[in-house]
Amino acid sequence: MVYFDNAASTRALPEVAEKFTQVLLSAYANPSSGSRLGMEAENIIKKSAQTLARLINAQSYEEIYFTSGGTESNNLAVFGTAKGYHRSGKHIITTQIEHPAITLPFKALEEDGYEVQFLPVDEKGYVNIDDLKNAIRSDTILVSIILINNEIGTVQDVESIGKAIKDANPNTIYHVDAVQAFGKYKIDVRKCNIDLLSASGHKFNAPKGLGMLYMKNRLKVKPIMYGGGQQKGQRPGTENAAGAAALALAAEESYKFLTESTKKVMEIKKYLAEGILNSIEDTFINGEEIDKASPYVLNMVFKNLRSPVLLNALEDKEIFASAGSACNSKKKVQSSVLGAIGTQEDDIVGSLRFSFTRFNTMEEADICLEALKELVPMLRRFHRKR
Amino acid sequence: MIEKVLIVKYGEIAMRGNNRRLFVTKLVESIRRNIDSEGNFYVVREQGRLIVEDRGGEMDFDRIIPKVICVLGILGVCPGIKLTDQSMDNICKRALGHMQKFYGDKPTTFKVVTKRSNKQYPLLSNEVSAEVGGYILENMPNLTVDIHNPQETVFVELRNEAYIYSKFIKGFGGLPYGSSGKGVSLLSGGIDSPVATFMMAKRGVEVSGVYFHSPPYTSERAKQKVIDLAKIISQYTGGFKLYVVPFTELQLYLLENVPEDKLTIFLKRSMMRAAEKIAENEHAMALITGDSIGQVASQTMQGINAINAVCKMPVLRPLAGMDKQEIVDIARRIGTFDTSIQPYEDCCTIFVAKHPETKPKTSVIDKIEYKLTQLPDFLEKALENTEVIEL
């Protein structure tokens, strides 16, 4: 089996699964209870938060909040900021290539009377920093930027963007959606002036249902759920010690191998991408060039083909990839990210995303390439324009 | 002792002379199949009725009624009570209890109707009705009697036991499943074909399904969707056999050898041939399709004519005269709609032309098909590799 759909989700690491089970079975008391057993769980959570804080260079472990995943982190960041800062203004800015977990909260706020601006991107998927700077006003309370795009892998220059935002309005809150980046890309929240940062466990070999939100000290972000006051009331609900431990361990493992992973995965991506470009006619890459985009994501157009058909044929050979983004394969809507970078409608239909982890191999890339060489010409023979 | 029972009424089959026993037996079997796993139930035959009793304790109507109401051939069910003690005193008290439970203090008009199958009973029907009605009226000031146009009718049935009920919950009617012989239904995964399958099952036809799978052009999820639809239908039929015919090679052969605008006609002719072969092996006597006249290009009178020309078996088209909305309404009622509208492509739509032929001539189609010398081989191969899924 060749699994090239790691931007959708990854397999949990065996040692992470083991850690998760171990904590479930031993430190099962409520972390908020005063007992010794509860303290044990609390300590696990604290240690996990310390690890995560260190990995993104946060000031303190108290800036780490555990959530149910990327979607919740993003929602908390957007709605929480809107609720906490609406007196300072109702202008919020994001881009046209965000994940729906950002786009839809922004649209919901628009309905509530917020002024929402979706900044366009160029054909490679980059936001123009000068445009962003000019868009920021005295009443702009939030800018949300996706660090690595989930569909095309474009990496935004979050450091320059952070500087630009704070130059234009030091009070504007800066949120970075790092769901595809955390664990695969070095992030320094203080250097980049980041106020809020979302991450999701299952994108870097932790279990699903685990996420984190970095929230800089002394922000007035309001909670979006209310309950027993856990996590300083910002994200109530009994804390998940096993989840926190699993998240921290998976993150630590990812960053331990970051340099070699990046190099290895880039080789795989390069081999596959160049192989496709050189041996299959009418193919091209969506977005940024191979080595300037994230090594973990490759989005390619196979002209005169429909991606579901190619995906089914690949699946038959035990090769798993996805069309654009896995989150919208069940709907008939086409990728808005590819639309935003100016990919033609006919080409969006033929777009495939291959996404990798450090556990993928060159042999797998080779199997995938050979399968594509065989399938694409065969399937194109029967392609009929609709 | 009071016992909550479900009184099952069957309409049409009660009239069927010599076959009645057979039909009632089928009906009892179907009901049993649906409720056996739920507890210790008995299905007792009374004249013109079936009585479902819960021997495990008090019957939970909310749980049991949905399991019984979906059985085909049932006109409707009435939640009621059974009395062994048939004294007037007891009947009055229980009838009052029943009314209080269902109508509480809601102002309602009612009347009492008595059926006296037990001719030994000391009082006449009207006398029983008057007595029971009077007793209820005395004890429930919110009720008034209206003989001609009551909102609720309380039935008292005096048989071997006495039964009291007032609510009637409508079923699907029809004939007991499997009492009319076998048919094979072509399932695409759309809205229409499951409805057509259900409608024939409702008339007692034992149905099997055929689905044409064209990987990689149709996905595993499209196949799963058809399996899910078949599962929904199997709730009514108590089981379902689904044939999955691999059609990719045949379809591609057609694609390369016939005019684009007539492709669907040729494809559907091949499907009918395959389905007919399966039907012959199943000892079925008819094919079933979800065609509705004029709905799509291949469902014009001319299209149906050209497609139908290849089969000898009768092709039942229960939706032929229905509008889309009518079909959708039934699909919603039988619970297939939400599954049907999942957006996975079926084999009929993947290569469909922009402007397909709407008035094909059978003679022209025949002539082109005559030249498709390899078509029978592809058909045979597809049938050889057919997968059978028992649901």
The CATH number of the domain where A293 resides is what?
3.90.1150.10
Of B126, B144, B170, which one is at a domain's C-terminal end?
B170
Shared domain for B235 and B309, answered yes or no, is yes
Rounded Cα distance, B251 and B270, in Å: 9
Estimate to the nearest angstrom the gap between the alpha carbon of A259 and the chain centroid.
19
Substitution target in B219, B255, B261 with the highest count of A β-carbons within 10 Å is B219
Query: pLDDT 10s digit of each residue in chain A, 386 long?
Result: 999 999 999 999 999 999 999 999 999 999 998 899 999 999 999 999 999 999 999 999 999 999 999 999 999 999 999 999 999 999 999 999 999 999 999 999 999 999 999 999 999 999 999 999 999 999 999 999 999 999 999 999 999 999 999 999 999 999 999 999 999 999 999 999 999 999 999 999 999 999 999 999 999 999 999 999 999 999 999 999 999 999 999 999 999 999 999 999 999 999 999 999 999 999 999 999 999 999 999 999 999 888 888 999 999 999 999 986 444 444 445 568 998 998 888 888 889 999 999 999 999 999 999 999 999 998 888 765 44
CATH value at residue B198? 3.40.50.620
Domains: count for chain A: 2
Write out the residue range of the structural domain in which residue B78 sits: 2-170
Residues A125 and A272 in one domain: no
Based on the domain organization, do A64 and A170 belong to the same domain? yes
Q: Which residues of A touch B215 (CB under 8 A)?
A: 312-313, 316
Q: Which residues contact B43 (CB under 8 A, 6 or more apart)?
A: B8, B28, B31, B32, B50, B51, B52, B53
Kindly identify which residue of chain A lies nearest to residue B345, measuring between CA atoms: A308
What is the H or E stretch that residue A91 is in? strand A91-95
- DSSP-derived pairing of the beta strands A319-320 and A351-355: unpaired
- A333 to chain B: closest CA residue: B343
Can you give the pLDDT at residue A326? 44
Residue of B nearest to A386 (CA): B354
Q: How far apart are CA B97 and CA A386, in angstroms?
A: 66
Q: Which of A194, A227, A256 is the last residue of a domain?
A: A256
Q: B170, B195, B225 — which closes off a domain?
A: B170
Report CB contact under 8 Å: B260, A313. Answer: no
Pair (A292, A202) in one structural domain: no
Choose the final residue of a domain: A239, A256, A273.
Answer: A256
Q: Do B216 and A309 touch (CB under 8 A)?
A: yes
The CB density around residue A77, as the number of other CB atoms within 10 Å, is: 29
Check which CATH number belongs to the domain holding B13 and give it.
3.30.2130.30
* B349/chain A closest Cα distance in angstroms: 10
Interface A:B, Cβ pairs < 8 A: 35
CB contact under 8 A, B215 and A382: no
Measured in angstroms, the CA of A14 and the nearest CA of chain B are apart by: 29
Residue B176 lies inside a defined structural domain of this protein: no
Whether A179 and A267 share a structural domain = no
The whole domain housing A143 covers 14-256
Same domain, B23 and B164: yes
Within this chain, do residues B94 and B195 fall inside the same structural domain, yes or no? no
State whether B233 and B308 are in the same domain: yes
Answer yes or no: do A160 and A204 share one domain. Answer: yes
Residues B21 and B140 in one domain: yes
B→A interface, C-beta within 8 Å? 215-220, 252, 255-256, 260, 342-343, 345, 351-354
Q: Is there a contact between B130 and B147 (Cβ–Cβ < 8 Å)?
A: no
In contact, A223 and A235? CB cutoff 8 Å: yes
Q: Does any domain span residue B177? A: no
- Could you tell me if residue A141 is inside a domain? yes
Q: What is the total count of domains within chain B?
A: 2
ipTM of the complex in this document: 0.71
Q: What are the pLDDT digits (tens) for A82-100?
A: 999 999 999 999 999 999 9
Q: Do B206 and B91 belong together in one domain?
A: no
In a domain, B175, yes or no: no
CB-based contact B215 A332, cutoff 8 Å: no
Tokens at B210, concatenated: 């055929």
Q: Which residues of B touch A382 (CB under 8 A)?
A: 217, 252, 255-256, 351
What pLDDT digit, counting tens, does each position of A329-343 carry? 444 455 689 989 988
**Residue B353: closest C-alpha in chain A:** A386
Amino acid letter at A261? Answer: S
Of A312, A332, A384, which has the smallest distance from its Cβ to B216's Cβ?
A: A312
A386 is a domain residue? no
The answer to whether B69 touches B36, Cβ cutoff 8 Å, is no
Q: pLDDT tens for residues B47-72?
A: 888 999 888 888 888 889 988 988 88
* Neighbouring-strand partners of residue A197: A176, A214
Residues of A annotated as catalytic are 327
**What is the rounded CA–CA span in Å between residue B391 and residue B381?**
25
Last residue of a domain, one of B119, B147, B170: B170
